[in-house]
């Protein structure tokens, strides 16, 4: 379609050359016409002044006035003889001398002598010099007419000198040819500039025609407006040049265009998003309550840096599914552990009954009714399952997970997915710290306290604590004290805080732990969540280890 469009219409570069060439031609043509008119007028004035000067010289000849007054017109008279001599000498078309009645005393055509002149002599006979271009018996000529005076100053006739306009036309043609040759230089330079501009324009537009650029612009707008990813384009000077509607939604703010990112007033979290280079797999960021995956692509063409493209993907749905999967996995692990524990108890009871040890079987059942390795008093299946699952993973890492005596949970979870996310991330962080700490065997203690519909989570471990210089950065996205580049590290605490704050709560570092804490424990984290429990009945807990 675009190929056929190019065939039907002239290329933009061709149109530009033709348009500029036509414009230059018109300008040069008008300039040539104006210059010719001005120069022709100057030539006309020069010829008129030349005719006038010759007329004055003839009128100033001695005894000419006496010859006109004292004799009759004659083709062989002295006036005719002197006038013809002047005409031949100066190259004039004619030199005519008349009396005060306008009767000719000289003329190139002797037959016209004695006749009245064909043009009015009144103005010259009135004593005025006259210059004009008129048509006479010999055709058009530039004329100069002066009065002929006697010694007393009285006007006794006129002297009229004419120079043929054919000479004026010949001079004008010479000037036109000369000006035309001169005008060819700027015209050629202009055409060369037009061709150069057209080539530069073609390179700048990548060879695209206006219709193609319009189609690309429409397609560009459709694509940017239709994708579910946020797209932000940054030029080599660090200015935002492109921002699609999805990026505005994900960033919860309008990104100003053609402004330096550092001067855009977008806030530190968004500025860091655009200025810091994320890992190839992308970096997780929480902007405006939305979990985003940020990737940056460097754009180059023919070795020239064209800028960068920042792609923002909404991971909220995926994060929600991951949390739901985590909660489901925790519940499944808890049920599996419960089934395994019940199976062991049934096997033990079956063995006692098989051997006829009825008293021991009775005592065993009584003991089971009073104690259990399950989490008694914790009615919520999600938290119970999570604790059971984390206890199993902690045991595999050589860490003992314990639920503190002060635990009190009154009610069940109203928002199990978000609550499990917060508790699970705190426990994972504590288990890793305990497993890698100097105190061995490692341990983690968790306390769960209900406060109406709120929940307080207190987690302490036996790890080496958080370095004092890192206490403020521990909740930053991507921050980790582990020597690893594996993806996913440095996200848990940031995600836990984000989730808690989404429910009106928070996650904070109560005590960084380590040597400064008396060498008794590692870091202490506390999470507070609001309106995550439904009211119910609970009971005090005793320490239960798994």
* Residues 383, 520 within the same domain: yes
Q: What is the CATH number of the domain that holds 272?
A: 3.30.450.20
- Distance between CA 55 and CA 143 in Å, rounded? 9
Residue 326 neighbours by CB under 8 Å, 6+ apart: 420, 421, 424
Residue 157 placed within a domain = no
Residue 525 placed within a domain = yes
Residue 365 placed within a domain = no
β-strand partners of 296: 310
- Distance between CA 454 and CA 150 in Å, rounded? 133
* Residues 270, 401 within the same domain: no
* Residues 405, 271 within the same domain: no
Sheet holding 544-545, edge to edge: 506-511, 524-529, 454-461, 442-451, 399-403, 544-545
- Distance between CA 281 and CA 292 in Å, rounded? 13
Quick one: how far is CA 256 from the chain centroid?
Answer: 10
* Residues 403, 513 within the same domain: yes
Closest of 518, 509, 522 to residue 437, by C-alpha: 522
Q: Which domain-ending residue is among 283, 314, 345? A: 314
* Residues 383, 512 within the same domain: yes
Residue 137 placed within a domain = no
* Residues 400, 522 within the same domain: yes
* Residues 308, 407 within the same domain: no
Domain range for 268 is 227-314
* Residues 432, 307 within the same domain: no
Residue 419 placed within a domain = yes
R_g over Cα of the chain:
55
pTM over 0.75: no
* Residues 393, 522 within the same domain: yes
pLDDT of residue 179: 82
* Residues 302, 380 within the same domain: no
Task: Count how many domains the chain has.
Answer: 2
pLDDT of residue 481: 58
- What does the pLDDT profile of the chain (546 residues) look like in tens digits? 444 444 456 676 777 778 888 888 888 888 888 888 888 788 788 888 888 999 999 988 888 888 888 888 888 889 889 899 998 998 888 899 999 898 999 999 888 899 998 888 888 888 899 988 888 777 778 889 999 988 888 999 999 998 887 777 787 788 888 888 888 888 888 888 878 887 887 777 767 777 777 777 787 777 777 777 888 888 888 788 888 887 777 777 777 787 777 777 666 667 776 777 666 556 666 666 677 777 777 877 777 777 888 888 877 677 667 667 766 776 676 567 667 667 777 888 788 788 887 888 787 777 766 544 445 556 677 787 788 778 877 888 889 998 887 888 877 888 888 888 889 889 988 998 899 888 888 999 999 988 888 889 999 998 888 887 777 777 776 556 555 444 445 567 877 888 888 778 999 988 888 665 455 788 899 999 998 888 654 443 333 343
CB atoms within 10 A of CB 167: 16
* Residues 308, 389 within the same domain: no
pLDDT of residue 444: 93
pLDDT of residue 537: 47
Residue 404 placed within a domain = yes
- The token duo for 70 is 């004292």
- Distance between CA 159 and CA 129 in Å, rounded? 10
* Residues 384, 526 within the same domain: yes
- Distance between CA 534 and CA 182 in Å, rounded? 97
Distances (CA, A) of 391 to 327, 373, 448: 15, 11, 15
Q: Which domain-ending residue is among 261, 293, 314? A: 314
Residue 13 placed within a domain = no
Q: Which domain-ending residue is among 314, 349, 365? A: 314
Q: What is the CATH number of the domain that holds 435?
A: 3.30.565.10
Residue 34 placed within a domain = no
């Amino acid at each position: 379609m675009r190929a056929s469009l190019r065939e039907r219409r002239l290329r933009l570069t061709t149109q530009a050359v033709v348009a500029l060439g036509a414009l230059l031609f018109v300008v040069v043509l008008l300039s040539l016409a104006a210059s010719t008119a001005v120069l022709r007028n100057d030539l006309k004035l020069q010829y008129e002044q030349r005719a006038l000067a010759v007329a004055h010289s003839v009128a100033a000849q001695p005894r000419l006035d006496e010859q006109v007054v004292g004799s009759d017109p004659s083709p062989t008279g002295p006036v005719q003889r002197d006038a013809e001599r002047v005409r031949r000498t100066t190259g004039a078309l004619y030199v005519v001398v008349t009396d005060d009645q306008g009767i000719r005393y000289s003329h190139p055509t002797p037959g016209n002598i004695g006749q009245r002149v064909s043009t009015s002599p009144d103005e010259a006979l009135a004593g005025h010099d006259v210059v004009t271009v008129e048509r006479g018996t010999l055709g058009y000529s530039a004329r100069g007419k002066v009065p002929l005076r006697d010694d007393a100053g009285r006007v006794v006739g006129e002297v009229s000198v004419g120079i043929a306009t054919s000479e004026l036309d010949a001079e004008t043609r010479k000037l036109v040819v000369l000006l035309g040759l001169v005008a060819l230089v700027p015209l050629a330079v202009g055409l060369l500039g037009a061709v150069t501009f057209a080539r530069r324009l073609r390179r700048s537009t990548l060879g695209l025609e206006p219709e193609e650029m319009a189609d690309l612009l429409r397609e560009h707008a459709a694509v940017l407006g239709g994708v579910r990813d946020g797209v932000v384009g940054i030029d080599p000077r660090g200015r935002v040049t492109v921002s699609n509607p999805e990026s505005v939604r994900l960033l919860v703010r309008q990104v100003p265009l053609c402004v330096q990112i550092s001067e855009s007033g977008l806030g530190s979290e968004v500025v860091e998003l655009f200025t810091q280079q994320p890992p190839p797999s992308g970096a997780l960021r929480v902007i405006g309550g939305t979990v985003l995956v940020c990737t940056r692509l460097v754009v180059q063409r023919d070795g020239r840096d064209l800028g960068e493209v920042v792609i923002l993907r909404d991971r909220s749905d995926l994060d929600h599914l991951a949390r739901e999967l985590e909660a489901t996995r925790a519940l499944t692990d808890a049920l599996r552990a419960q089934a395994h524990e019940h199976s062991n108890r049934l096997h033990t009871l079956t063995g006692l009954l098989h051997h006829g040890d009825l008293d021991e079987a009775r005592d065993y059942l009584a003991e089971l009714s009073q104690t259990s390795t399950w989490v008694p008093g914790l009615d919520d299946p999600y938290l119970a399952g999570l604790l059971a699952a984390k206890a199993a993973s902690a045991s595999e890492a050589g860490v003992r997970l314990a639920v503190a005596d002060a635990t009190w949970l009154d009610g069940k979870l109203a928002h199990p997915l978000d609550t499990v996310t917060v508790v699970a991330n705190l426990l994972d962080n504590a288990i890793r710290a305990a497993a890698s700490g100097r105190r061995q065997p490692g341990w983690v203690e968790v306390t769960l306290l209900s406060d109406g519909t709120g929940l307080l989570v207190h987690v302490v471990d036996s790890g080496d604590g958080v370095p004092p210089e890192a206490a403020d950065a521990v909740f930053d996205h991507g921050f980790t004290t582990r020597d690893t580049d594996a993806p996913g590290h440095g996200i848990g605490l940031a995600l836990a805080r984000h989730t808690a704050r989404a429910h009106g709560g928070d996650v904070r570092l109560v005590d960084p732990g380590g040597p400064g804490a008396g060498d008794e424990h590692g870091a202490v984290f506390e999470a507070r969540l609001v309106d995550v429990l439904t009211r119910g009945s609970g009971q005090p807990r005793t320490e239960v280890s798994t």
